[in-house]
Amino acid sequence: MHDYHVHSNYSDGAFLQRMVDAAASAGLDGVGIADHCNVFPSEDARRHRRALGFNLDLTYERRREAIEDVCERADVRVFDAVEMDYHPDHEDEIREFLDDTGFDYAVGSVHDLDGVNVHFAAHFADKSEEERRALVDRYFEKLVALVDSELFAIAAHPDLVERNPHLRGFATDDHYERVADAFERSRTVPEINAGRLLDDYGEFHPAPEFLDTLADRGVDVTVGTDSHEPDVIAPRIEAIEEELTERGLESVTVAE
């Protein structure tokens, strides 16, 4: 099995070597180092990546050499991948960056709503129900645009809003159908993401009903544990394997 979505210390994860060692111990055939990367041209976005140290747009060549070094000693195939922030207004910048850099594959993510990361629960706590509904609508609109852009091999955590308790529960069948339509016509594959499976949220992305909709349409998934620490890779892989077996789903290979 290939886990196409883990992080390293080239964004917000643990040391690259530790992540690769853990992937090998988990019995994986391949692991994709998909560190965060943002190329939005706004000053806000620049400030944000400076503040967080999300500098892969500047450090990918150094990381590439590190991956090559690690590969020589690793018992697991290691992919030089990226998790790109997506916004419909910045497709040109993203396309140019991906064309210039030549990663093994790219994962695309909608992380922001209202200019704020979906993870920041507090920002959404004071919103009215109507506002939250509109934000979740907007999330799925952006996700459909991401899939239609054909920029990415993989669409990450396709219902990220569910992990925020203030945005949870507003996704509808109509959203799921629209996203499934987009996946049917695109090269982009959704991932089954275990980033919050063993935490507070306790579900995969996509949530069970969403995964049902995708499976009914014959849309396959890639595997992504979205691990930031080495010790969570094995239990998340085990849980994903169980889920796929139970559902009779095959995982898609995007790089080998």
By the criterion CB under 5 A, which residues form the site for Zn ion? 83, 109, 156, 226
Looking at the Cβ atoms of 104 and 226, the one nearer to Zn ion is: 226
Q: What is the closest distance, in whole angstroms, from the C-beta atom of residue 218 to Zn ion in the complex?
A: 25
Looking at the Cβ atoms of 109 and 251, the one nearer to Zn ion is: 109
Helices (H), 150-201: 173-184
Cβ atoms 55, 102 nearer than 8 A: no
SS3 letters for the chain? CEEEEECCCCCCCCCHHHHHHHHHHCCCCEEEEEEEECCCCCHHHHHHHHHHCCCHHHHHHHHHHHHHHHHHHCCCEEEEEEEEECCHHHHHHHHHHHHHHCCCEEEEECCEECCEECCCHHHHHCCCHHHHHHHHHHHHHHHHHHHHHCCCCEECCCCHHHHCCCCCCCCCHHHHHHHHHHHHCCCCEEEEECCCCCCCCCCCECCHHHHHHHHHCCCCEEEECCECCHHHHHHHHHHHHHHHHHHCCCECCCCC
Looking at the Cβ atoms of 83 and 112, the one nearer to Zn ion is: 83
Q: What is the closest distance, in whole angstroms, from the C-beta atom of residue 111 to Zn ion in the complex?
A: 6
Looking at the Cβ atoms of 156 and 171, the one nearer to Zn ion is: 156
Looking at the Cβ atoms of 86 and 183, the one nearer to Zn ion is: 86
Q: What is the closest distance, in whole angstroms, from the C-beta atom of residue 244 to Zn ion in the complex?
A: 20
Looking at the Cβ atoms of 3 and 83, the one nearer to Zn ion is: 83
Task: Compute the distance between CA of residue 143 and CA of residue 114 in angstroms, rounded to an integer.
Answer: 14
Q: What is the closest distance, in whole angstroms, from the C-beta atom of residue 96 to Zn ion in the complex?
A: 22
Q: What is the closest distance, in whole angstroms, from the C-beta atom of residue 205 to Zn ion in the complex?
A: 9
Looking at the Cβ atoms of 186 and 227, the one nearer to Zn ion is: 227
Nearest 5°: the CA angle 155, 13, 146 is 15
Q: What is the closest distance, in whole angstroms, from the C-beta atom of residue 224 to Zn ion in the complex?
A: 7
Q: What is the closest distance, in whole angstroms, from the C-beta atom of residue 130 to Zn ion in the complex?
A: 27
